[in-house]
């Protein structure tokens, strides 16, 4: 490496520090001290030095905000903690029920404080910092894993490339928040696109989501994105309160919700919710409600989660925005599980920043109850990111001769007879070979988050099904015998076929939980699939598990348990699974170390440990052959109990599970170490 004058390095650091400070003043505090011209002059000086000495360029340099080389793909990353979705409510009664539920689940007569944040209508993002430097940014994805978009995120000026660290223990942390776009910025951006004759964005939220997934970060750098932080995760720091974490995030240099408030009674929460519903349009950006969270993190830990949602938080949504339009037609959609869903085909209408041309009609009972008829003038509502729905008919505008809607008796895709079971609201097409169902199941199987088969998109699936190459997911693994025939199809060739077959072969390496999710069992999303794999080591265990055993798993309720049982009792599904086994897919979890002192033992950890984090305890158990699950069930051997243990301890007692304290765990591990 060539020698560099120390004065150059000092000047470089001074420029970087100054530019970071001016970014913070302008994009976070909205209190600029210098003109754009002066800022650009400082940036040019920095770029000139880095061009001359490229070895001095660092990832946290302000120069990295201008964007880099285009990316070919976005790798995925598993979140350190799941990015959970929230349960929604629109009523005061539900908010009071939430309060009562929280109090009933907490031990004794503990007082509860709630912190209320505005619910930004944007895109969730996770930022990881190491030694105070941004090292990774990822989208929420399916909540368990997301796409790595670090290069794009570095261009967002309100995101810190280097933390204003107020405490060394916070130099390694994760910050979560929402990327948004102000309405005025969105409007200006659309005006520019309109002048250029380009397609306009639908709304700010969609434009943010699309921008984050652009492959060219130089284009991302031109988009007016903002980031508001709402969560801080720091394993080295004893964080206590969500409200205090918001103040810490502000000191670190992030934009946070300045309207966040803490309340000691649910009445204050409800008043805050109603106040913001009436004045949401005074903000420069879109919100669709407030988020209510139990303030103390210790109480959050006790309350835990249900499947994808935390018990300790709820999204209090605002009333939907409404508009009047004409119902042109009612079309039937066939889902991958055979569910028939009626959809309203509407005269396009603008509602809350989005043009709506289709809306949900739910089922036959809903259409009858509202007396919805083709040709009616109807009221359409849209709330936040909820699918638009037809909520009522304007009877006085109904034209003479318009007849009530009669639900068809045959599947619109295959002509099979539709069936409606006694306790079900929906009609079903029971023909498992129905082309629409077949396509839907295969598309779900191939999707990212499931088997992630490259080259097997919607158009390719349609072509393979139409030409009778495949009728189910198991057929995919026999496609190689048709490779020559496939290559002769129009616009296909040997390269396209090889890419597809390679993607199918690679999918055999996907872990058991991905295969389970990809099977498309009703009510079994990616999170539930992981929970099942934590409790059942193979598909055979699941096939033979009684419904009542499934319900002993904390996150598995009666509806999910019944759906799983019905799926695995179906002879067609069993044949598919047997074929997948023969094709070499992973239908069991990875074997643990057989030689460890904790081998063959399943653990759950609850409460606060004194000498280590729960993640570290999990590592030690797994290093010594044990398995760690997140929920207590009859399949668990040992519960490791720390301070302030909650409902898991009670459940373990009822199931007769062996209890260890931290001292016992350490003692066993020390014996193992000799």
pLDDT digits (tens, 9 = 90+) for 292-318: 999 999 999 899 887 678 999 999 988
Q: Are strands 602-606 and 418-419 parallel, antiparallel or unpaired?
A: unpaired
**Partners of 429 in the β-ladder:** 418
Percent of the chain's residues with pLDDT above 90: 41
Using the predicted structure, report yes or no on whether residue 396 has a pLDDT greater than 90.
yes
Model confidence pLDDT, tens digit, residues 12-63: 888 888 887 877 776 666 677 777 677 777 877 887 887 777 777 777 777 7
Is the pLDDT reported for residue 437 higher than 80?
Answer: yes
pLDDT at 181: 93
Q: How far is Cα 500 from Cα 506, in angstroms, rounded to an integer? A: 10
pLDDT digits (tens, 9 = 90+) for 86-107: 888 888 999 999 999 999 989 8
Residue with tokens 């097997």: 456
Which contacts qualify for 373-376: CB closer than 8 Å, 24 or more apart? Answer: 373/327, 373/398, 373/402, 373/403, 373/404, 373/405, 374/327, 374/328, 374/329, 374/330, 374/402, 374/405, 375/326, 375/327, 375/328, 375/399, 375/402, 376/326, 376/327, 376/402
Cα–Cα dist 77/150, whole Å: 11
What residue spans of 53-91 are helical by DSSP H? none
pLDDT of residue 671: 45
CA atoms of 221 and 63, how far apart (whole Å) = 11
| H runs (alpha helix) in 85-239 | 92-105, 150-153, 183-195, 204-212, 217-220
Residue 96 token pair: 């009071």
- Return the closest-CA partner of residue 372 out of 393, 358, 401: 393
611: pLDDT strictly greater than 80: no
Please tell me the distance from the alpha carbon of residue 349 to that of residue 380, in angstroms, as a whole number.
9
First to last CA, the chain: 48
**pLDDT score at 68:** 53
pLDDT at 373 over 90: yes
Q: Give the range among 95-104, 314-323, 368-377, 665-674 with minimum mean pLDDT.
A: 665-674
Query: Which residues are within 8 A (CB) of 55 and not within 5 positions of it... i.e. 6 or more apart?
Result: 1
pLDDT of 577 reads 96
Rg (CA), the chain: 28
Alpha-carbon distances of 220 from 52, 68, 153, rounded to whole Å: 26, 10, 8
| pLDDT classification of 568: cutoffs 50, 70, 90 | very high
What whole-number distance in Å separates Cα of residue 24 and Cα of residue 326?
49
The span from the CA of 310 to the CA of 314, in Å, is 8
- Which residue in 417, 440, 439 sits closest to 429, CA to CA? 417
| Calpha distance 648→611 (Å, rounded) | 21
Cα–Cα distance measured from residue 146 to residue 126, given in angstroms and rounded to the nearest whole number = 9
CA distance 541 to 562: 16
Give the pLDDT of residue 379. 94
- C-alpha 588/C-alpha 581 separation (Å) is 10
Contact 650, 302 (CB under 8 A): no
- DSSP, collapsed to helix, strand or coil, labels residue 413 as coil
The pLDDT, as a whole number, for residue 607 is 83
Structural domains present in the chain: 6-57 (1.10.287.610), 88-317 (3.30.470.30), 321-406 (2.40.50.140), 435-509 (1.10.150.20), 512-582 (1.10.150.20), 602-672 (3.40.50.10190)
Question: What are the pLDDT digits (tens) for 176-234?
Answer: 999 999 988 988 888 877 676 666 777 788 889 888 988 888 888 889 999 999 999 98
Residue with tokens 């179906």: 570
**Quick one: CA torsion of 194, 198, 204, 209, rounded to 10 degrees?**
-170
Q: Which of 591, 658, 659, 589 is nearest to 625 (CA)?
A: 591
Closest CA to 132 of 158, 169, 171: 171
CA separation, residue 84 to residues 125, 145, 157 (Å): 12, 11, 26
Sheet holding 602-606, edge to edge: 627-628, 602-606, 638-641, 658-661
Tell me what pLDDT residue 590 has.
66
Per the CB < 8 A criterion, the answer to whether 86 and 315 are in contact is yes
- Supply the pLDDT for residue 165: 67
Q: Which residues fall within 8 angstroms of residue 235, CB to CB, at 6 or more apart?
A: 172, 613, 615
Q: Out of 226-235, 434-443, 585-594, which region has the weakest mean confidence (pLDDT)?
A: 585-594
* pLDDT value at 1 more than 50: no
Residues 6+ apart with CB under 8 A from 591: none
pLDDT at position 198: 67
pLDDT (0 to 100) of residue 15 = 85
CA separation, residue 462 to residues 437, 451, 504 (Å)? 11, 18, 16
Q: Is residue 624 a contact partner of residue 596, using CB atoms and an 8 Å limit?
A: yes
Determine contact, residues 354/183, Cβ cutoff 8 Å: no
- The reported pLDDT for the residue numbered 316 is 93
User: What pLDDT, on a 0 to 100 scale, did the predictor assign at position 382?
Assistant: 75
How many residues are listed for the chain in this entry? 674
Winning range, highest mean pLDDT, from 365-379, 590-604, 618-632: 365-379
More confident residue, 181 or 610: 181
Question: Which pLDDT belongs to residue 385?
Answer: 45
Mean pLDDT of the chain: 86
Decide if pLDDT at 290 tops 90.
yes
SS3 330: strand
Q: How far is CA 291 from the centre of its chain?
A: 17
What is the average per-residue pLDDT within 585-605? 77
Category of 458 on φ-ψ map: left (φ > 0), alpha (ψ -120 to 50) or beta: alpha
402 has a pLDDT exceeding 90: yes
Give residue 71's pLDDT.
Answer: 55
- Maximum Cα interatomic distance, the chain, rounded to a whole number of Å: 89
% of the chain at pLDDT higher than 70:
93
What SS3 state is found at 389? strand
What whole-number distance in Å separates Cα of residue 155 and Cα of residue 210? 15
- What is residue 167's DSSP assignment? S
Alpha-carbon dihedral angle through residues 192, 193, 195, 199, given to the nearest 10 degrees? -160
Q: pLDDT tens digit string along 635-655?
A: 889 999 988 777 788 888 888
Strands 658-661 and 638-641: parallel
Q: What is the pLDDT of residue 334?
A: 93
The DSSP line for 8-38 is: HHHHHHHHHHHHHHHHIIIIIS----S-HHH
- Is residue 408's pLDDT more than 80? yes
Query: How far apart are the C-alpha atoms of 160 and 421, rounded to whole Å?
Result: 55
Which are the catalytic amino acids? 119
- The answer on pLDDT for 386 being more than 60 is no
Count of C-beta atoms within a 10 Å radius of residue 95 = 20
CA distance 178 to 86: 14
Distance CA(176)–CA(249), nearest Å, equals: 10
């Amino acid at each position: 490496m060539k020698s560099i004058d120390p004065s150059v390095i000092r000047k470089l650091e001074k420029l970087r520090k100054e530019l970071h400070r001016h970014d913070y003043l302008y994009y976070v505090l909205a209190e600029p001290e210098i003109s754009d011209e002066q800022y650009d002059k400082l940036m040019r000086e920095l770029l000139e030095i880095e061009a001359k000495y490229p070895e001095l360029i660092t990832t946290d340099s302000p120069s990295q905000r201008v964007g880099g080389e285009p990316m070919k793909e976005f790798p995925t990353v598993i979140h350190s903690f799941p990015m959970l979705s929230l349960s929604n409510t629109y009523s005061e009664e539900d908010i009071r029920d939430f309060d009562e539920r929280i109090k009933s689940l907490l031990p004794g007569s503990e007082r509860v404080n709630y912190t209320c944040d505005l619910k930004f209508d944007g895109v969730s993002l996770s930022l990881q910092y190491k030694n105070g430097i941004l090292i990774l940014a990822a989208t929420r994805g399916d909540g368990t894993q997301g796409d790595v978009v670090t290069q794009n995120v570095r261009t967002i000026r309100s995101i810190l490339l280097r933390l204003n660290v107020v405490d060394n223990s916070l130099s390694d942390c994760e910050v979560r928040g929402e990327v948004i776009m102000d309405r005025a910025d969105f409007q200006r951006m659309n005006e520019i696109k309109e002048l250029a004759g380009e397609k306009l964005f639908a709304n700010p939220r969609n434009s943010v989501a699309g921008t984050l997934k652009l492959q060219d970060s130089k284009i991302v750098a031109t988009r007016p994105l903002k980031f508001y932080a709402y969560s801080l995760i720091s394993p080295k720091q004893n964080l206590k309160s969500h409200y205090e974490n918001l103040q810490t995030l502000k000191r670190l240099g992030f934009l946070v919700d300045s309207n966040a408030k803490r309340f000691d009674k649910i009445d204050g929460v409800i008043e805050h919710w109603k106040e913001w519903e009436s004045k949401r349009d005074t903000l420069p950006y879109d919100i669709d409600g407030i988020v209510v969270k139990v303030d103390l993190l210790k109480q959050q830990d006790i309350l835990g989660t249900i499947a994808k949602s935390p018990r300790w938080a709820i999204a209090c949504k605002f009333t939907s925005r409404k508009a009047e339009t004409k119902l042109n037609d009612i079309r039937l959609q066939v889902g991958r599980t055979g569910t028939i869903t009626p959809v309203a085909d509407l005269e396009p209408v603008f509602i809350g920043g989005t043009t709506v041309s289709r809306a949900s009609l739910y089922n036959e009972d809903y259409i009858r109850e509202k007396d919805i008829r083709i040709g009616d003038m109807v009221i359409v509502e849209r709330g936040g990111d909820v699918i638009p729905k037809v909520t009522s008919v304007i009877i006085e505008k109904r034209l003479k001769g318009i007849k009530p809607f009669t639900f068809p008796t045959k599947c619109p895709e295959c002509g099979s007879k539709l069936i409606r079971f006694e306790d079900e609201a929906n009609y079903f097409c029971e023909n498992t070979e129905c082309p629409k169902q077949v396509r839907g199941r295969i598309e779900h199987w191939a999707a990212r988050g499931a088997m992630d088969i490259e080259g097997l998109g919607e158009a390719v699936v349609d072509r393979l099904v139409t030409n009778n190459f495949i009728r189910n997911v198991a057929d995919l693994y026999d496609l190689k015998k048709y490779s020559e025939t496939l290559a002769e199809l129009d616009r296909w060739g040997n390269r396209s076929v090889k890419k597809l077959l390679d993607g199918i072969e690679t999918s055999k390496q996907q872990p058991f939980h991905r295969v389970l999710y990809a099977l498309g069992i009703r009510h079994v999303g990616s999170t539930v699939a992981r929970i099942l794999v934590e409790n059942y080591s193979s598909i055979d265990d699941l096939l033979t598990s009684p419904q009542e055993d499934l319900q002993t798993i904390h996150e598995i309720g009666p509806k999910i348990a019944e759906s799983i049982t019905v799926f695995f009792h179906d002879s067609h599904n069993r044949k598919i699974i047997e074929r997948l086994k023969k094709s070499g897919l992973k239908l069991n979890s990875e074997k643990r170390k057989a030689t460890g002192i904790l081998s063959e033992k399943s653990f759950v950890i609850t409460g606060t440990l004194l000498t280590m984090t729960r993640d570290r305890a999990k590592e030690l158990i797994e290093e010594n052959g044990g398995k760690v699950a997140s929920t207590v069930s009859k399949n668990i051997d040992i519960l490791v109990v720390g301070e302030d243990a909650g409902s898991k301890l009670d459940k373990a007692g009822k199931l007769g599970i062996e209890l260890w304290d931290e001292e016992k765990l350490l003692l066993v591990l020390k014996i193992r170490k000799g």
